[in-house]
Amino acid sequence: MRCVVANWKMNLRSGEAQAFCEDLLLRLPEGGSAEVGIAPPFTLLSLVSGLVRPRGLQVFGQNAHAEDKGAFTGEVSMPQLRDVGCSGVLLGHSERRQFFGETDAGLIKKIKAAWQWDLLPLLCIGESLAERDSGATLDVLGRQLSILAETGPGPLWVAYEPVWAIGTGRRAEAPQVQEAHAFIRAELIRHGACTDYEVPILYGGSVTPESFPELLGIPEVAGGLVGGASLDPHKFGELIKQAG
């Protein structure tokens, strides 16, 4: 299974989002087999969902709280994501970990809550530049995936995003990507995550139409979690075509 997911982060307003979706829908390949998703800001979820879900695209929240409701000002719950048409949610993105204190312990609760509300968790993992340079990459990935021993098995996508290769000008080389994805697959199997479910492993390190074909040729790379290139319907449409 090939998957391509757009992470718009904190970008676009309603008019821009509508124009993007209308343009993208004209570019979708006939008979394409790739699973395609868009993760807009919360304010655009309902609009984007109404535009793309009829064409078979999935909509992801960029984050969600583990509780169904309550006094958590500024948060959004899993049932609220379902209510506006989401079928999945990004969890553990590097920016959530770095800037907003996302923890592995908290992610256990969030993954379970996503499953409770029939949302597909897209779990993001990856190492920083300091961790890469110190040789700790596999230790970091192993720790981040160890939460699956606590969640038990369930529908899941994983995205490997080497933080040091996002918007820095540095590029992860194919052997580095292959090593990380092979390790992730082995850990998923070890924790029983692949027993009853297909778990695609996406790559999320500055994916572009220029780099994507090589990435797709690497074993265990099932697609991409796309940042900057996902804000351009032409580039994102090209990535969808490349994924099949």
Known catalytic residues are 93, 161
d(CA 82, CA 214): 35
Asked if 95 and 63 touch (Cβ cutoff 8 Å), the reply is no
- Nearest in space to 2 (alpha carbons), one of 47, 36, 43, 26: 36
Residue 81 backbone dihedrals phi, psi, to 5 degrees: -65, -45
- Nearest in space to 12 (alpha carbons), one of 36, 39, 40: 40
Asked if 239 and 226 touch (Cβ cutoff 8 Å), the reply is yes
Residue 160 token pair:
């490997």
